[in-house]
Structure 1
Amino acid sequence: MKRIAVTFFALVLCGAAAVALAAGDAAKGADLAKGCACHKSKGDLDGQDAAALLKKMEAYKAGQGENKAMIAIMKKHSDENMADLAAYYASLPKK
């Protein structure tokens, strides 16, 4: 029983670490977002859920969706950059 508890605890810690790493750095995302003129002027991403934003960006990077410009833009970004951008936009107050 003790071994099961230790294993469960280790898995929980690993999961928490993975979530923390996937969270992204909002400050780095702010620098990356300087080139996002459309979203900056609209404010349409401000305050949205970071996980949902990251999922959308990953879909664009995979070539999914109808917005060819976003597909091209996201293909140039690393997974870390996309996590940073998602963290940045999620940190902004909704307009």
Structure 2
Amino acid sequence: MKRIGILICALVLGLCALAYAAGDAAKGAELAKGCACHKSKGDLDGLDVAALTAKMQAFKEGQGENKAMVAIMKKQSDENIADLAAYYASLPKK
């Protein structure tokens, strides 16, 4: 019985950590107000959070051919990247 309690506690803590690590779509919407290019194209709308995060992290690390995106993402915190990814993932695909 004690093991089940420990397992449940670990599961709850793990879920809390995942929720905390997930971005805030409302904050991401505020950050995305300056993203006129992606807003008009809708090319990021509805994409997977993990894929969006990986792409933004790659730009932050200087990878990719789009120099403008590299410069923009280098200025973003990991929290901002998570928020932006949550926002774009929450939008319906166009």
TM-score, shorter chain, exceeding 0.5: yes
- For residues 6-39 of structure 1, give each alpha carbon's deviation from its aligned partner in whole angstroms, at most 9, with x where no partner exists: 4433332232122111211111111100110110
Task: Compute the RMSD of aligned alpha carbons.
Answer: 1.5
Aligned equivalents of 2:76, 2:89: Cα separation in 1: 18
> Once the 2 structures are TM-superposed, how far is the Cα of residue 59 of structure 1 from its aligned partner?
1.2
User: Is 1:73 matched up with 2:57?
Assistant: no
Aligned equivalents of 2:85, 2:30: Cα separation in 1: 12
Look up the match of 1:19: 18
> Is there any run of 5+ residues in structure 2 with no aligned partner, and where?
none
CA 1:4–1:62 in structure 2 vs 1: closer, same or farther (change >3 Å)? farther
Counting only pairs closer than 5 Å after superposition, residues 51-66 of structure 1 correspond to structure 2 as 51-66=50-65
Look up the match of 2:87: 88
Aligned equivalents of 2:57, 2:9: Cα separation in 1: 29
Percent identity over the alignment is 70
TM-score by length of 2: 0.87
1:47 counterpart letter in structure 2:
G
Look up the match of 2:34: 35
Aligned equivalents of 2:11, 2:87: Cα separation in 1: 26
Aligned equivalents of 1:14, 1:59: Cα separation in 2: 29
Aligned equivalents of 1:9, 1:28: Cα separation in 2: 31
> Is there any run of 5+ residues in structure 1 with no aligned partner, and where?
none
